[in-house]
Amino acid sequence: MTTLKLLDGKLRLPVICSPMFIVSYPALVAAQCKAGVVGSFPALNARDEGDLDRWLTGLKAELAQFQAANPDRPVAPFAVNQIVNPSNTRLQRDLEICMRHQVPMTITSMRAPNEVVQEIHRYGGTIIHDVINFRHAMKALESGVDGLILVAHGAGGHAGRINPIALVAEIRRHYDGPLALSGAISTGSGILAAQAMGADYAYMGTRFIATQEANATPEYKQGILDGMAADVVYTDLFSGVHANYLRSSIVAAGLDPDNLARPDDAQAGKLVFKPKAKAWKDIWGVGQGIGTISDIPDVASLVDRLEAEYRAAKERLLQL
Ligand SMILES: Cc1cc2nc3c(=O)[nH]c(=O)nc-3n(C[C@H](O)[C@H](O)[C@H](O)COP(=O)(O)O)c2cc1C
């Protein structure tokens, strides 16, 4: 185990909750951190000028107050996700706000974070980067990140194509630093499985969409309850990057998930993407872990359950 120093003694379970566009807002993040797992949100969720600054001020105050009132409980640090990509024209502005607030942990995605790493390290922040393959992992390590997130096959939202067992093993041959694994982890035994494979943390997204605190419509949450792994569609049609979406939301948008076509396929007589349906808002991102999700608890109850499942899975293994 190689852990991230800032998380030592601060977690109830080795879990980092992933940032989710449109879903992860401060209410969810605060509930996750209070429950003893890292909470995170994408900076891009803070839409209006001033939102990010306000959110960070509020989160820091709420968590500090909770920790003071509950000195014996592990309260996890929070993380902010930055999309490092030329299309993110807000990156520098958002980074400056986060640096001013000394955000404990930064999660970068898309491109190797290079110059961002130095800026985060300058104030003592921790930065981890998400990757879908070996080549991207090595590039991120060259840029000096403190840890990696491996986004394996079946993860919600933008996801890789590589089996998690293969991906972790491949990376572990060259890297023994902090490692989080993501992709369809929805249970306590899944968290333990990530560790058994060689990861230090499980990185969980979709399971937390079906919680009281998540900013998702009742229909989205119900869609997760109704869906199975086979109802997850992997396509680059909606955002330009391959991602996993819930089949029923594609159907509801008037599209045929088995015959998805690009606008220039229109002449071939196929169904075409209707711009009215918006990726993430109408076409819902989910991972293949939905088949085990059957309720919408609050975050505290969910983490209680995950911990009980995690302990039970450990005991089962000891009896082998
Ligand atoms: C609805 C949704 C939105 C997401 N938005 C982002 C995002 O804005 N930034 C990011 O780095 N990852 C995003 N992800 C990917 C997650 O960070 C993570 O890799 C994934 O949720 C883990 O797999 P799981 O959902 O199967 O647990 C998103 C995932 C989902 C399901």
Q: What is the pLDDT of residues 168-190, one digit of tens each?
A: 999 999 999 999 999 999 999 99
Ligand 1: distance of its center to the CA of 269 in Å? 33
pLDDT of residue 58: 98
pLDDT of residue 262: 66
**pLDDT at residue 139 greater than cutoff 60:** yes
Q: What is the mean pLDDT of residues 202-224?
A: 98
CA nearest ligand 1 atom 8, residue: 21
> What DSSP element (H or E) covers 34?
helix 26-34
Residue 206 CA: which ligand 1 atom is closest? 25
**pLDDT at residue 313 greater than cutoff 80:** yes
Ligand 1: distance of its center to the CA of 210 in Å? 14
Global pTM value: 0.96
Ligand 1: distance of its center to the CA of 209 in Å? 10
- Torsion, Cα 131 135 139 141, to 10 degrees, reads 70
Residue 284 CA: which ligand 1 atom is closest? 1
**Contact criterion met (CB below 8 Å) for 313 and 189:** yes
CA nearest ligand 1 atom 10, residue: 19
**pLDDT at residue 245 greater than cutoff 90:** yes
Q: What is the mean pLDDT of residues 268-287?
A: 75
CA-CA distance, 27 to 25, in Å (whole number)? 6
- Spell out the residues 6+ positions from residue 221 whose beta carbon is closer than 8 angstroms to its own: 209, 210, 214, 296
- The 8-class DSSP code of residue 71 comes to T
Ligand 1: distance of its center to the CA of 68 in Å? 31
Domain spans in the chain, listed from the N-terminal domain onward: 5-216+297-318
20, 23, 129: which to mutate for ligand 1, most atoms within 8 A of CB?
Answer: 20
Residue 286 CA: which ligand 1 atom is closest? 31
CA-CA distance, 120 to 261, in Å (whole number)? 41
CA nearest ligand 1 atom 6, residue: 20
Output 288 or 85, whichever has higher pLDDT: 288
Return the amino acid letter for 170.
E
**Contact criterion met (CB below 8 Å) for 305 and 188:** yes
Confidence of residue 264 (pLDDT cuts 50, 70, 90): low
- Residues flanking ligand 1, CB < 6 Å: 18-21, 23, 42, 81, 109, 130, 151, 155-158, 182-185, 203-206, 285-287, 289
Confidence of residue 212 (pLDDT cuts 50, 70, 90): very high
Residue 23 CA: which ligand 1 atom is closest? 1
Confidence of residue 153 (pLDDT cuts 50, 70, 90): very high
Ligand 1: distance of its center to the CA of 41 in Å? 10
Q: What is the mean pLDDT of residues 139-152?
A: 97
CATH tag, 5-216+297-318: 3.20.20.70
CA nearest ligand 1 atom 13, residue: 20
CA-CA distance, 276 to 304, in Å (whole number)? 40
Weakest-pLDDT range from 1-15, 225-239, 262-276 = 262-276
Residue 184 CA: which ligand 1 atom is closest? 26
Per the prediction, the chain carries an average pLDDT of: 94
Ligand 1: distance of its center to the CA of 203 in Å? 9
Confidence of residue 278 (pLDDT cuts 50, 70, 90): confident
Compute the 3-state secondary structure of the chain and give helix, strand, coil in percent, each to the nearest 5.
45, 15, 40
